[in-house]
Amino acid sequence: MSNFFSYVYIYVAAFAIVVTLYLGRQRRRQKAHSALLQHALSSGLMEPPSLHPAVDPSRCMGSGACVKACPEQALGVVNGKAVLINGAHCIGHGACAAACPVEAIKLVFGTEKRGIDIPSVTPHFESNIPGIFIAGELGGMGLIRKAAEQGRQAVNAARRKVGGDADYDVLIVGCGPAGLSAGLSAIENKLRYKLIEQEESLGGAVFHYPRRKVAMTAPVKLALVGTVKFGEVQKEKLLEFWQDVVAKTGLQISFQERMESVDREGDCFVVRTSRASYSARTVLLALGRRGTPRKLDVPGEESAKVVYRLIDPIQYQGLAVLVVGGGDSALEAAITLSQQPGADVTLSYRSAAFSRVKQKNRTQVEEQERLGQLRVMLNSQVLRISDDHVEIEQDGVPQRMRNDAVIVCAGGLLPTPLLQKIGIEFQTKFGTQ
C-alpha cells in the first residue's frame, strides 16, 4: 500500500510540475504578445491592408493554433483569447481561420475606422450583373495565390453560360495572376477566349515591383500546369516562369489594349477597347488597382522627371531622388535606390508611421536611415516640384530640397466611374465579410 501511495505522489508531483511549467510558459507568451500589441497600437501598426482575421472572443478557447499557423506573426494570445496584435503584417492568406479548432475566426475586409470598397460578388465570383465576373485585386484579393485561384474558379463558373453567336465565350480584362490563371483555365475548358492587357507586359502589379522583390511565398494551382510549388520567389524569376508558361501553353494575350466600355446587347456583352469591339457571353474583370496611378496633384507634377514606378534603379545613380508613399512598394523603392552609388534618397510619407508594411521593409528602412543612406520624412507632403528642386512641408514647416527625380508610389485608383457605369455594385466593408 505504501508503494501505491508513493507512485501516486510521484505522478501527482510530475503532473503538477508539467502544469506549472505550461502555465508559466503561457503567462510569458501572453505577456510578450501583450507587449507587441501595445507597441503596434502606439506605432500605428494595427490597420490591416486588406483581408484579415476577426476573432469571436465568445468562441475562442485560446489554444494558440491560429498563432502557430500565422507566418507573419500578426496574431497573439492576450488574456486567454486570440487577438490581432499587428494588423499591418497580415497579408490575408487565411491560414489562421483554417487552423482554428472551434471556428472562432472569420476573414473580413476593412475596419471600423477604415472602410474598403469591394465589388459585390457571389461565391463563384459573379457580380451583381449576371455574366460579369470579378477576380483578383479588384475584388480585394491582392495575394497572388488567392488571386490565381479566383481566376480559375471564375472561368469554371463562366463556362456554364457559354454558347451562342458571340465572338468569345469569355473576355478577360487584365493579365495579372488572376487573368493569367483565368486564361489557362479557358484553354483547359476549350472556351473561346480573349485576354487583353492595357500595359506592355504580363504580370500586373508584379511587373512593377522593384528588382528582386519577393513576389510569392505559397504554392499556387494553375490549369494546364498543376500546382506550382514556389516558396519565396523573386519578381524576376516569377515573371520568367509566367512567360515560359505562356510560351508552352500558347496562351494568347493582346497587350496595350485598354477596356473602354462594356454594354449588354441581347444575351451577350459588347466590350469596346482602344483597338476594337468584341462580343462575349461572359466578361471577367481581373483588373488591378495600379492601372491609374494615384497622383499628388501639385504644381510641377507633369514634369518628365516624375514617374509612378521604379523599374531600373541603376539609372538613378548619383542623383537626388524623392520617393513619395508609405506602402511596401515605396519603402522597397527607397531601399533599393539608397543602395545605388552616389544616390541621395529621401522618402516622404504623409502619416506619422508606416502602418501597413512588412516588418522586413520597416527594418531595412530604419537600417538605411541609421547608416545615413536614406532620409525619412514622416508627416510630410510635397508642395511643388521644380526642375532642380522640390518643396516639401513637414510638420507644418516648408523645406526646399535639391532634386533630380521624383518617384510616386502612392498606389493606384480603381476605374470606379467605368465600373459604376457598367452597373457594378460596391460595398464598403467596415470589418465585415
Sequence spans of domains, the chain: 2-108, 117-291+414-429, 295-410
**Which CATH code for domain 2-108?**
3.30.70.20
Q: What is the pLDDT of residue 40?
A: 65
pLDDT < 70 regions, the chain: 1-9, 18-19, 21-24, 26, 40-47, 49-50, 71, 89, 91-93, 112-115, 140-143, 202-218, 230-235, 289-292, 413-414, 429-433
pLDDT value, residue 182:
95
* Angle ∠(209,213,218) on CA atoms, nearest 5: 105
Classify domain 295-410 at the CATH class level.
alpha beta
DSSP 82: E
Confidence at residue 188, expressed as pLDDT on a 0 to 100 scale: 95
Q: What is the pLDDT of residue 330?
A: 92
Is-same-fold flag (2-108; 117-291+414-429)? no
pTM flag (> 0.85): no
- Cα atoms found within 13 Å of the Cα of residue 396, Cβ hemisphere only: 0
Whether the CB-CB separation of 162 and 173 falls below 8 Å is answered with no
Counting every residue written for the chain, the total comes to: 433
> Cell 508513493 appears where?
6
**Is 17 in contact with 9 (CB distance < 8 Å)?**
no
Single-letter code of the amino acid located at 36: L
Sign of CA dihedral 35, 41, 47, 53: positive
Round to whole Å and give the CA distance between 358 and 331: 10
Residue-level pLDDT at 385: 96
The pLDDT of residue 45 is: 62
DSSP sequence for 364-391: HHHHHHHTTSEEEE-SEEEEEE-SSEEE
Distance of alpha carbon 292 from its chain centroid, rounded? 16
> Would you tell me which CATH number, out of the four given (1.10.3720.10, 3.30.9.60, 3.50.50.60, 3.40.50.1370), belongs to the domain 117-291+414-429?
3.50.50.60
Please tell me the predicted confidence (pLDDT) of residue 306.
92
pLDDT score for 155: 95
